[in-house]
Amino acid sequence: MQASDVRPLPVLEETLNYLLNLLDATEHPFEVVHDFVFDRTRSIRQDLSMQNIVNDQTIHMYEEMGESLSLWLGRVPSLILKSKEMCFARRLLRLFRMGNYKRFLCTTATEASYLQYYIIEPYINEVRALALSCVNYCGYKLHPYPIAHLSKLLMMKELDVESFCNACGLETSTGERGNKFLSTKQTNFHYPKEVFPSYCLLGLEHF
């Protein structure tokens, strides 16, 4: 990238003002204009991030972009906002942001349609990694956590749990009776840099 390719703050402000004025245009349907503005403001946000510009001007610009994006929500028919699919998506997003991994996984397994699960699938292992992190850091060091219990918590097969733990940098052990355990308080936990294998989610019998 050349220095001439980077747009300075004054240029970004001028571009944003031009784009926001387009929202009042009537030559094209609102949806078309909104999609165009959304795409162009995304590049503005990228430029601000790349240049690490942090000041009152950028805060104001982010606020204006946020307000412009929220205009779309006000035009969504109430019938759609209150639909079963939209309520499910909002509830699942709330669980994801709250870090409520147990309810996120259970809700996905019992309520998601095939299409919804296909959309959610990339985030399931991310939620599982969060759950594994909590077990590892909050567990009692002298009492290893049974893989069988972890299998139920993560809603995956026991063999997959071992593979998942290893992918997160955690070691498992085998007890005297052949039962598998996860030793907690391990310091080398990490979120895998590579893409997780596609582990099945137990409880999806309705598919």
What does the pLDDT profile of the chain (207 residues) look like in tens digits?
Answer: 555 567 889 999 999 999 999 888 788 888 888 889 889 999 999 888 888 888 999 999 999 988 877 777 777 788 888 899 999 999 999 999 999 999 999 999 999 999 999 999 989 999 999 999 999 999 888 889 999 999 999 999 999 999 999 999 999 999 888 889 999 999 999 987 777 777 889 988 655
- Domain range for 99: 84-182
Instruction: State whether 132 and 167 are in the same domain.
Output: yes
Q: Which string of DSSP letters, residue by residue, matches the chain? A: --GGGSPPHHHHHHHHHHHHHHTT--SS-HHHHHHHHHHHHHHHHHHHHHTT--SHHHHHHHHHHHHHHHHHHHHS-HHHHTSHHHHHHHHHHHHHHHT-HHHHHHHHHHH--HHHHHHHHHHHHHHHHHHHHHHHHHS-TTSPEEHHHHHHHHTS-HHHHHHHHHHTT--EEE-TTS-EEE-SS-S-----SSPPP----TT-TT-
| Domain stop point among 51, 75, 99 | 75
Distance CA 154, CA 128 (A): 6
Q: Do residues 29 and 46 share a domain?
A: yes
Q: Does the residue 103 lie in any domain?
A: yes
If asked whether residues 108 and 48 sit together in one domain, one would say no
Residue-wise burial string across 19-37, b where 16 or more C-beta atoms lie within 10 A, e elsewhere: beeeeeeeeeeeeebbeeb
70, 49, 43, 18: CA torsion to nearest 10: 70
Whole-angstrom distance, CA of residue 155 vs CA of residue 112: 15
169 assigned to some structural domain: yes
pLDDT at 204: 81
Whether 90 and 173 share a structural domain: yes
Q: Phi first, then psi: what are they for 53, rounded to 5°?
A: -85, 115
pLDDT value, residue 104: 97
Domain membership of residue 43 (yes or no) is yes
Statement to judge: residues 120 and 138 lie in one domain: yes
100 within 8 A of 146, measured Cβ to Cβ: no
Q: How many domains does one find in the chain?
A: 2
| Segment 42-50 long-range contacts (CB within 8 Å, at least 24 positions apart) | 44/12, 44/15, 44/16, 47/6, 47/7, 47/12, 48/12, 50/6
Domain end point (choices 45, 75, 105):
75
